[in-house]
């Protein structure tokens, strides 16, 4: 089978995506398929340069996402590169990759692909929309306020956020991943919130101010209709930001998490419900905060989670004896049924 690995892209998570593309390319080769490693950021040259990136020892020289244009993605997928492709394995993250745009172009070309489809992808990356859906389904999620550009200087709104949500707050872009643009405000003032909103607004026109849930950070992968073991995330200091995620040794991962069976089962059930409510397919990973009473609050759901051999979904699968290569096989076969 001819399988294209689509990776890189033009979001701030480009470097993470490249690392995932390398791992998935290797695994699919081991499965015996013909692999085409394509970086759509380079348009019709996506295969030639994508192959060079995969073979490169250091991906950092290719990590600048700001030099690319969205039209390159359309040119790439609409080109002859995809004429004989049977399946696309998506390893794109963030906007213009995980948000339904690439998925819609693949749909128009009639090409099957991994992970969630257009509608679920667009709902999941929209934190405000997904939190509304979680709340409607009875899945606990931290209380929040949503800001649009006209609200960025609204001091009354900031004062209301502090009054309603507390002094410790999370400010985040509405449609980014990998904690990009997130600020934890420890003891909120109007000026601190303004600064945090400004930082988040660099990555999204819509910004969320969210109550901070004190407690443990856990994540629950879901494949199809089953949850994998829960992973607890323990950063060495501060919070689980981009540096802690992608710098070796900065975070401890405990899999399975050391939590009671009843809390584990209940939280896994919440992750499956979130997967179903959003309408996801394939693999997702839901991130939670677990308070001191054992109540889990969902933060977000990721429709294309990080996918290197040491990423969290493969880590949880490994706990069940599923290798990275076998995990890739399952993802492909489930979509082709």
Residues facing residue 92 across a β-bridge? none
| 135 assigned to active site | no
Give residue 259's Cα distance to chain centre: 24
Active-site hit among 285, 289, 297, 311? 285
Secondary structure (H, E, C), 19-57: HHHHHHHHHHHHCCCEEEEECHHHHHHHHHHHHHHHHCC
User: Of 246, 183, 223, which is closest to residue 303 (Cα–Cα)?
Assistant: 223
Per DSSP, 61 falls in state: G
The question of whether 329 is a catalytic residue gets the answer no
Active site residue 300: yes
The pair of structure tokens assigned to 308 is 């290197």
- The answer to whether the bond into 53 is cis (omega within 30° of 0) is no
Cα(293)–Cα(301) distance, integer angstroms: 22
Q: What angle do CA 294, 296, 297 make, to 5 degrees?
A: 145
Where would I find the H helices in 96-251? 101-109, 118-125, 127-136, 155-165, 190-201, 242-246
Considering the candidates 13, 15, 126, 309, report the single residue annotated as catalytic: 13
Selecting among 152, 246, 326, 329, the annotated active-site residue is 246
Residue of 210, 302, 309, 311 marked catalytic: 302
Which member of 126, 210, 300, 309 is catalytic? Answer: 300
Active-site residue (options: 175, 211, 241, 287): 287
Check if the beta carbon of residue 180 is closer than 8 Å to that of residue 161.
no
Token pair for residue 281?
């397919």
Active site residue 302: yes
Is 287 an active-site residue?
A: yes
| Joined tokens for residue 171 | 């400010």
Has 214 been annotated as catalytic? no
What span, in angstroms and rounded, lies between the C-alpha atoms of 167 and 164? Answer: 9
d(CA 330, CA 281): 13
The CA–CA distances, whole Å, from 278 to 90, 97, 130, 173, 283 equal: 19, 17, 7, 19, 13
250 in Cβ contact with 243 (< 8 Å): yes
Catalytic annotation present for 13: yes
Q: Which of 72, 96, 178, 264 is catalytic?
A: 178
Q: Which residues are catalytic?
A: 13, 178, 246, 285, 287, 300, 302, 306
């Amino acid at each position: 089978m001819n399988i294209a690995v689509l990776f890189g892209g033009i979001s701030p998570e480009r470097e993470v995506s490249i690392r995932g593309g390398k791992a998935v390319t290797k695994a699919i080769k081991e499965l015996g398929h013909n692999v085409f490693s394509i970086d759509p950021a380079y348009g019709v040259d996506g295969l030639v340069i994508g192959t060079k990136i995969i073979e490169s020892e250091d991906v950092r020289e290719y990590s600048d996402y700001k030099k690319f244009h969205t039209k390159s993605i359309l040119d790439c997928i609409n080109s002859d590169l995809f004429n004989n492709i049977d399946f696309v394995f998506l390893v794109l993250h963030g906007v213009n990759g995980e948000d339904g745009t690439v998925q819609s172009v693949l749909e128009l070309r009639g090409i099957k692909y991994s992970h969630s489809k257009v509608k679920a992808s667009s709902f999941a990356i929209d934190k405000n929309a997904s939190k509304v859906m979680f709340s409607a389904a009875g899945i606990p999620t931290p209380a929040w306020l949503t800001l649009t550009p006209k609200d960025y200087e609204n001091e009354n709104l900031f004062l209301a956020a502090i009054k309603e949500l507390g002094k410790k707050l999370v400010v985040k872009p509405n449609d980014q991943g990998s904690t990009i643009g997130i600020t934890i405000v420890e003891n909120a003032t109007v000026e601190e919130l303004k600064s945090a909103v400004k930082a988040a607004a660099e990555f999204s026109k819509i910004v969320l101010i969210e109550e901070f849930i004190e407690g443990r950070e856990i994540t629950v992968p879901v494949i199809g209709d089953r949850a994998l073991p829960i992973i607890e995330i323990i950063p060495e200091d501060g919070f689980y930001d981009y540096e802690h995620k992608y710098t070796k040794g900065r975070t401890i991962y405990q899999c399975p998490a050391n939590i009671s069976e009843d809390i584990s089962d209940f939280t896994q059930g919440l992750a499956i419900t979130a997967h179903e409510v959003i309408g996801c397919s394939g693999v997702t990973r839901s991130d939670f905060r677990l308070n001191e009473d054992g109540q889990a609050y969902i933060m977000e759901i990721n429709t294309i989670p990080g996918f290197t051999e040491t990423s969290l979904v493969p880590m949880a699968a490994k706990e069940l004896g599923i290798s990275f290569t076998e995990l890739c096989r399952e993802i492909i076969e489930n979509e082709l049924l």
